[in-house]
A and B are shown apart, each in its own frame.
Chain A
């Protein structure tokens, strides 16, 4: 197993997040601590949110497995049930490909948006909080806040059911990813967390949404599809 650099240890993909989400009715924190203590809201973050109308991850992480073949993270991307696939929660502080870094599959709708977003990021002075997880087709996820802690970053999300007149299947999943550009490098950070609320009726903070919410589908090559506030966002 390759030696993960400290900055790459900031990630928490797959299993760690699954544990935090299990049985989630109210709010859980994947960072293992209660949110709200010693944290300050990041006011000037830039957010990219893309919903892929298939459960296909738009971002994967590859690392050298030691035998010359790249290994995809999270490993359960293809084997796990749809609701567990493609989960990523990470604080990306550089794009060092010697370790574990995000890649953007060219054949997946929406991936190019993340590729461009990462390219536009100056990792000397900025970093990216990356969160990707499947969302039931009949639900929508919102980002309600992103916070800087003494040694890490944390984001708050909520989930709510889409309107009754939106056509969707109860057991189908889409994929939603958030990339949040933070105005600091975060080289000395060593934790990353997320809290997930089951309802958005009374968010703990203002909804933080990007100017444009993008929805992409299997036939979409990634061209802009602004549906901010629309039924599918």
Chain B
């Protein structure tokens, strides 16, 4: 496969399609942000374009360092069905509206359990099962609250058990794993499960003193506890299976903490590189270019929004003392800023505009896919795949959107702009992956 980095300069990486039509649009970069002067898209063959935008992108490779055993999925499924089986199909409650709603929720969830999911990865499939299980717990919780079988003391007991289990997990969590980049990816996943679950344990208010008078509120609170329990089970499974075949796995907590400090420093420095501050702060008005409704506008907004707000996730991970997540988020923050600069350069160079025809649109799609696949195949793959998540997520949203919507000019601009942005982002992933690996090994 050809590596697009080998023949595309940073500026031109965004403009392979655009260059062929630049001549026809000469002078566009002098235009103001005026809708009326927006260059219209070429007159595409709608059938060909429709076919291109509805094509799905390649599936994300399953390279996560922990393989989820079937028995673990089955445990979630079994728990989900047990919860639902404990609720009658047609609950017999004095309050007909409550009975009807619980029965309807139960039936709806039962139906969805029988549907085939299309989650892209095993971890996504696991998340789907957690969702089903939470939802089943809400139905069950509402029912047992309505029948007077579940009250504040039961809720308090479960809170204590969950809190103890979370405390025990945390005290025994040393971020073990012999392969540091793999450990980074695994423990970042565990951190996310742990934090979300712990939030559900700690953030709930007091259980209704009269659950029969607040059955749905009671159901929601039971759901939060179930979510916490399911998250902890998954976190434990990932941690235990990751070090299962390692005789004396090393601990990585201190190394991750030090690496995250270094990468956060670099991310902050990246934000001040070059003279891109006005474009970042003021948006389109800081650019002397016509962005309205065109692909450049979409690419710019993706790049700007990502670069502007990426620091929040870094801060959150740092505040929570989640070093693995902080490393990934700081890397994303730094890369988002670099990508933003590239997008701004391409816009200023008038390199980011409409493909001339459907075949050039297909070419854009193809080079974007290649960039994603090149990123995925970078070693170590689990880390590279994780760092590509942002771009892949945007492309997945595009596909879902076009599965359900008729294509119009705005949608097409969004498609072209998103492809350009995702490609640019993906092209930088191999370099970022190397940086993270280097930083981890130096600690």
Chain A: residues with CB nearer than 8 A to chain B? Answer: 136-139, 161-172, 201
Contact = CB atoms under 8 A, between A and B. Distances in A.
Instruction: Give 8 closest A-B pairs by Cβ, nearest first.
Output: A138-B97, A164-B146, A170-B96, A167-B94, A163-B213, A170-B100, A164-B212, A170-B97
Of listed A136, A139, A164, residue having the most chain B CB within 10 A: A164
A167 B98 CA distance: 10
Nearest to B91: A164
Interface string B89-106: 000011111111000000
Interface in B191-216: 210, 212-216
B431 to A, nearest CB: 46
Contacts of B93: 164-165
Contacts of B214: 201
Given A170-B99, A170-B100, A165 B216 contact: no
A136 to B, nearest CB: 6
Nearest to A169: B96
A201 B217 contact: yes
Interface in B92-124: 93-100
B147 interface: yes
Contacts of A139: 97
Contacts of B95: 138, 161-168
14 contacts: A137-B96, A161-B215, A161-B216, A163-B210, A164-B95, A164-B145, A165-B93, A165-B148, A166-B95, A168-B94, A169-B96, A170-B99, A170-B100, A172-B96
Contacts of B213: 163-164
Interface of B: 93-100, 145-148, 210, 212-217
A138 B96 contact: yes
Contacts of B216: 161
Contacts of B145: 164
Contacts of A136: 97
A232 to B, nearest CB: 12
Nearest to B102: A164
B415 to A, nearest CB: 31
Contacts of A165: 93-95, 148, 212
B215 to A, nearest CB: 5
A163 B93 CA distance: 10
Nearest to B208: A201
A99 to B, nearest CB: 39
